[in-house]
């Protein structure tokens, strides 16, 4: 049995997807907007609504997907782990990710799994890095970039991240730099193409450093407009959008292959909210099939990145490898 906390842009999509892909699995859901999923709650569907998240955790579930707003994940995960329930968190807030990683001892004691950052980023970005790294003998640098936001909660988190310090891994130590600094023109897969990206409070380096401790540099940036940067210190001037449309992620890793310096660049295109729903859907399906490891960390801590990416591609996320500039045809 699986529980889903949060019925926003991600949670509502996830519920509909799981109802189709694993229809024999009991699903318990909780969130303020029950109307979004009321059409699914029929006798033939094994879906039940709980009034609050504490009742959700009392339903003898084995896995809890926390897809509510960032900042509320840690406390919920602590209660779930205490009851021996495995956790998948979609939060991309640094404090949530760090807090979840600190639950490692408690989770191991209970035999529970924790997947932190199971989202478009850092979940998918970490999987892309791990996949690309398999073609190298060693990895020296990792650079991640993201474009686009999902639903309202994602847009608010993007706004907050722009005004907070970034955290980067540099020559064996963590370095904090001002959010909104370090502009770089990053080329994403089409249709996004080029976008100015800046430092922000993103958790990708934390999860990647756990997987690649020998890397000398790990950075993450997010695309932003001039207005985003200038207004990041103010409350949001306009209401957040319901869904931000198509977005993209891009990872660049530099390392060595047979004593040669090599750079690998790979990206993915999707609506961020849909991509996060697909990431969590695949993890839930693999959990039901007992294909995940009982580990604590990012997506690649619990499953093989190649298998994971094969599954998300089947569900509509387009993965692209950059091969350089094509030669002009004569």
The 8-class DSSP code of residue 296 comes to E
Could you give the CA distance from residue 56 to residue 264 in angstroms, rounded to a whole number? 43
Domain ranges of the chain: 2-119+275-314, 120-271+316-322
Where do the DSSP E strands lie in 172-329?
173-177, 184-187, 194-199, 217-223, 247-257, 260-270, 296-297, 318-322
Lowest mean pLDDT, pick from 206-215, 217-226, 283-292: 217-226
Rounded Cα distance, 302 and 296, in Å: 7
Average per-residue pLDDT for the chain: 88
Could you tell me which residue, 220 or 1, shows the higher pLDDT?
A: 220
Average pLDDT, stretch 202-209? Answer: 96
pLDDT at 244: 64
Q: Is 13 helix (H, G, I), strand (E, B) or coil?
A: helix
Q: Is residue 129 within 8 Å of residue 144, measured between CB atoms?
A: yes
CATH number, domain 120-271+316-322, options 3.90.1150.10, 1.10.3720.10, 3.40.50.300, 3.30.360.10: 3.30.360.10
324 pLDDT band, cuts 50/70/90, is low
- Dist. CA 217–CA 139, nearest whole Å: 10
Instruction: Identify the bridge partners of residue 147 per DSSP, sorted by sequence position.
Output: 248
Residue 231 has pLDDT above 60, yes or no: yes
Residue 245 above 70 pLDDT?
yes
pLDDT of residue 308: 97
β-bridge partners, 221: 145, 199
Q: Is the pLDDT of residue 327 over 50?
A: no
Q: What pLDDT is recorded for position 149?
A: 80
Instruction: Pick from 67-81, 157-171, 196-210, 219-233 the range whose average pLDDT is largest.
Output: 196-210
Q: Quick: pLDDT tens for 24-81.
A: 888 888 877 666 666 766 655 688 888 766 677 777 899 999 998 877 899 999 999 9
Architecture of the domain defined by 2-119+275-314:
3-Layer(aba) Sandwich (3.40)
Q: Give the CA distances from residue 222 to residues 173, 307, 323, in Å, rounded to whole numbers and listed in that order.
A: 22, 27, 23
Structure confidence at residue 227 (pLDDT): 72
Query: Cα dihedral angle (12, 313, 304, 207), rounded to 10 degrees?
Result: -60
pLDDT the model gives residue 236: 59
Mean local confidence (pLDDT), 93-98: 94
* Percent of the chain surpassing pLDDT 90: 67
So what's the pLDDT on residue 7? 86
Q: Could you tell me the pLDDT band of residue 157, with boundaries at 50, 70 and 90?
A: confident
The residue count of the chain comes to 330
| Distance from C-alpha of 298 to C-alpha of 118, rounded to nearest angstrom | 7
Closest listed residue to residue 163, CA positions, set 216, 236, 81, 242:
236
Residue 232, pLDDT above cutoff 80: no
Mean pLDDT calculated for residue range 79-87: 93
| Residues 55 and 31 sit within 8 Å (Cβ to Cβ) | no
pLDDT tens readout for residues 299-316? 999 999 999 999 999 999
């Amino acid at each position: 049995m699986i529980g889903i906390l949060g019925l926003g842009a991600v949670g509502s999509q996830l519920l509909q997807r799981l109802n189709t892909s694993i229809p024999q699995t009991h699903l318990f859901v909780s969130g303020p907007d029950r109307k979004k999923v009321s059409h699914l709650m029929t006798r033939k569907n094994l879906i039940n609504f709980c009034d609050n998240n504490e009742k959700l955790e009392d339903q003898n579930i084995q896995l809890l997907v926390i897809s509510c707003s960032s900042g509320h994940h840690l406390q919920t995960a602590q209660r779930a782990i205490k009851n021996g329930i495995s956790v998948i968190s979609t939060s991309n807030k640094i404090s949530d990710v760090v807090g979840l990683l600190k639950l490692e001892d408690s989770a191991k004691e209970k035999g529970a799994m924790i997947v932190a950052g199971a989202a478009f980023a850092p979940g998918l970005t970490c999987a892309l890095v791990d996949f690309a790294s398999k073609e190298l003998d060693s990895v020296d640098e990792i650079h991640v970039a993201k474009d686009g936001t999902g639903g309202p909660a994602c847009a608010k988190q993007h706004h907050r991240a722009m005004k907070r310090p970034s955290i980067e891994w540099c020559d064996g130590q963590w370095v904090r730099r001002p959010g909104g600094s370090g502009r770089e023109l990053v080329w994403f897969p089409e249709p996004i193409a080029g976008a100015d990206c800046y430092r922000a409070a993103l958790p990708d380096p934390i999860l990647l450093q756990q997987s690649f401790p020998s890397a000398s540099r790990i950075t993450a940036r997010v695309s932003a407009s001039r207005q985003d940067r200038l207004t990041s210190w103010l409350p949001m001037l306009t209401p957040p959008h319901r869904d931000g449309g198509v977005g993209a992620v891009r990872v660049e890793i530099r390392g060595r292959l047979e004593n040669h310096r090599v750079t690998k660049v790979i990206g993915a295109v999707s609506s961020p909210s849909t991509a996060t729903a697909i990431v969590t859907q695949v993890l839930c399906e693999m959990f039901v099939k007992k294909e995940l490891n009982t580990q604590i960390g990012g997506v690649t801590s619990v499953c093989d990145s190649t298998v994971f990416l094969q599954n998300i591609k089947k569900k509509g996320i387009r993965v692209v490898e950059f091969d350089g500039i094509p030669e002009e045809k004569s």
